[in-house]
């Protein structure tokens, strides 16, 4: 019986493979939303939503940015340790992200010929960098910056810091740099989930996190959008609002937020909103 069962399973598997070998794969659309109702009384609510006003026709150019600590090995060759590499360990992650912010601020200030003035930069403390309005000036497809090791105090035995910036290209057009514009918000809404283009939402979420990312003396950030205050008194919170913990532990006041697209009322277009908790 075990042998017969195995033969049956093998036969079914081959039959299924034969039937589906020529099958066409397509996205399945969910049913369209029903129109809103007309009965009931209009009611106003106080919500945790804040509307974002987007200036039209603003391009955002995407870049891949990598930061490395450079070490000299016993073989006399250079060895690289990536600062922008993700880690699941809490303390090393915070230490690395703090170091990437220090390096990022330094190169923005020290290389005005690379980073455009009159625009805006949005950095995620890892490997994603967006430039608004203007492109970063690279040497062809990439730009390599070699910096002093003293920038990162935690790596005392390093001999330098290396930053490599590259264009992120369109997945379908390798020669074309990936770019989104402030007009692309409607692309994030589609009943076919696979066809949603959330490129602008990535930019907006990153832009809304810059204060928490860059001000490392005021905030500690976990993930992409959870920010905690180091000193709650600095923003008007009272000690009574933060319970005291034992063994040197600290409970901080935090905020989690994200940018969402909400449907417009009647004939209005969809809009971007920050949802904060």
Mean pLDDT in order along the chain per 10 residues (277 residues): 46 57 64 75 88 94 96 92 81 89 97 90 96 94 96 91 92 64 89 84 95 90 85 84 80 89 79 92
Q: The tokens of 127 are what?
A: 């490997």
Which SS3 state, helix, strand or coil, does residue 105 take?
A: helix
Quickly list DSSP for 152-219: STT-TT--EEEEEEEEPBPSS-TTSB-EEETTGGGGG--SSGGG---HHHHHHHHHHTHHHHH-TTTE
pLDDT tens digits along 162-216: 999 999 986 544 456 788 999 999 888 877 778 888 899 999 999 999 999 999 8
Tell me: the pLDDT tens digits for 141-166? 899 999 999 999 888 899 999 999 99
User: Residue 39 is encoded by which pair of tokens?
Assistant: 């009965």
Q: Per the structure block, which two tokens stand in for 59?
A: 């391009």
Say what the pLDDT of residue 242 is: 81
Q: Are 133 and 59 in contact (CB under 8 A)?
A: yes
Whole-prediction pTM: 0.80
Two structure tokens written together for 182? 């402030």
Q: Tally the C-alpha atoms within 13 A of residue 20's C-alpha that lie toward its C-beta.
A: 7
- The total number of residues shown for the chain amounts to 277
Answer yes or no: are the C-beta atoms of 262 and 270 closer than 8 Å.
Answer: yes
């Amino acid at each position: 019986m075990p042998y017969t069962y195995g033969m049956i399973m093998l036969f079914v598997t081959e039959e299924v493979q034969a039937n589906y070998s020529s099958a066409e794969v397509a996205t399945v659309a969910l049913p369209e939303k029903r129109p809103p109702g007309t009965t009931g009384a209009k009611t106003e609510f106080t919500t945790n939503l804040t509307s974002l006003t987007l200036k039209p026709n603003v391009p955002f150019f995407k870049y891949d940015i990598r930061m490395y600590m450079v070490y000299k090995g016993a073989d006399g060759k250079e060895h690289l340790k990536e600062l922008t590499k993700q880690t699941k360990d809490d303390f090393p992650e915070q230490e690395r992200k703090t170091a990437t912010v220090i390096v990022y601020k330094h190169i923005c200030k020290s290389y005005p010929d690379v980073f455009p003035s009159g625009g805006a930069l949005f950095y995620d403390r890892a490997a994603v960098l967006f430039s608004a309005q203007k492109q970063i000036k690279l040497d062809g497809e990439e730009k390599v910056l070699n910096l002093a090791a003293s920038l990162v105090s935690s790596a005392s035995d390093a001999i330098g810091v290396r930053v490599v910036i590259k264009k992120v290209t369109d997945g379908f057009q390798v020669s074309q740099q990936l770019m989104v514009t402030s007009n692309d918000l409607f692309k994030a809404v589609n009943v076919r989930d696979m066809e949603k283009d959330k490129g602008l939402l990535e930019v907006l979420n990153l832009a809304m996190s810059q204060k928490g990312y860059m001000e490392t003396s005021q905030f500690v950030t976990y993930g992409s959008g959870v920010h905690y205050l180091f000193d709650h008194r600095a923003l008007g919170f009272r000690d009574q609002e933060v319970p005291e913990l034992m063994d040197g532990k600290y409970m901080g006041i935090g905020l989690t937020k994200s940018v969402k697209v909400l449907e417009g009322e009647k004939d209005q277009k969809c809009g971007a909103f920050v949802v904060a908790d």
